[in-house]
Structure 1
Amino acid sequence: MRFVLNVLWLVLCGFWMAIGYAVAGIVCCVLVVTIPFGIASFRIANYALWPFGRTIVQRPTAGAPSAIGNVIWFVFAGIWLAIGHLITGIALCLTIIGIPLGIASFKMIPISLTPLGREIVDSRTAAW
């Protein structure tokens, strides 16, 4: 079932959301100071392509620098990517088949707002 949902996700919205994250990552990598943001953006782009079967967990070793970085990310890129997920999720929820995909898009909003200090892991190995 995850494979089917991932393929539907990729075709309907995953490719475009991944492009948005990749563009944000390229812009961040062009500015040398924001390379950590670019790396985080590329990680999320990978997650945006194939989200089902993976989950997001807090990294316990993340400290104050990631919190400060998340504030900067929120202002410059996070809010725009979160709006993209919100609009995509609403559009997907207009059909019965798109409801699980819309919910997945809504679940990606927190990582699009604050990507630093989080890890993307396989849902089977995630500690609950």
Structure 2
Amino acid sequence: MRTIGNIIWFVLGGLVMGIAWWFFGVLAFLSIIGIPWGKACFVMGSFSFWPFGKEAIARDELTQHEDIGTGALGLIGNIIWLLVAGIWLAIGHIMSAVACAITIIGIPFAIQHLKLAGISLAPIGKTVVDKEVAQAARMANAGRDVSNLRRK
């Protein structure tokens, strides 16, 4: 089912939005100082091409370690990103979501576009993994949180 969903997605909007992500990634790499944003663009662009069966998750949630993209510098990077390119990608995903939501069959695709619109506002510090990996990371984190609460 994921494969069929991804093929339909690719034809009905994933290709265009993936190329948009990669376009902003190329612009970021050309500026040299934008390389961290460019890297995030290529990760999220690949996700935008084939999103079903995958999920974007914060790297610190996945690894339990903060890195440069998940800390204060990542926050500053996401604010800059939002003002420069994030808002435009979000608008593109929202417009694609509206177009997909016109038909009943397109509603799952519209929901995916809305998820990607949220991600496009702050992609720094996120990575893309299989849904099962993201769920396992969240379950492990919940188990740690419960253990820490019981110790108090």
Q: Give the TM bin, normalised by the shorter chain.
A: over 0.9
For 2:149, the equivalent position in structure 1 comes to none
Which one has a bigger Cα radius of gyration?
2
What TM-score, normalized by structure 2, do the two folds share?
Answer: 0.82
Task: Say yes or no: does 1:17 pair with 2:25.
Answer: no
Task: Say yes or no: does 1:117 pair with 2:132.
Answer: no
Give, in angstroms, the shift of residue 64 of structure 1.
Answer: 0.4
* Structure richer in helix, relative to its length: 2
What TM-score, normalized by structure 1, do the two folds share?
Answer: 0.97
Of all paired residues, the percent bearing the same amino acid is 42
For 1:8, the equivalent position in structure 2 comes to 8
Q: Secondary structure at the match of 2:55?
A: strand
Give, in angstroms, the shift of residue 117 of structure 1.
Answer: 1.0
Q: Which runs of 5+ in 2 are unaligned?
A: 61-65, 139-152
> Once superposed, what is the RMSD of the aligned Cα atoms?
0.8
Task: Say yes or no: does 1:107 pair with 2:115.
Answer: yes
**Which string of whole-angstrom CA distances, capped at 9 and with x for unpartnered residues, describes residues 39-79 of structure 1?**
11011110000000001111221100100000000000000
Q: Secondary structure at the match of 1:124?
A: helix
Q: Which runs of 5+ in 1 are unaligned?
A: none
Give, in angstroms, the shift of residue 34 of structure 1.
Answer: 0.7
Spell out structure 1 runs of 4+ moving beyond 2 A.
Answer: none
Task: Give the total of aligned pairs.
Answer: 128
For 2:91, the equivalent position in structure 1 comes to 83
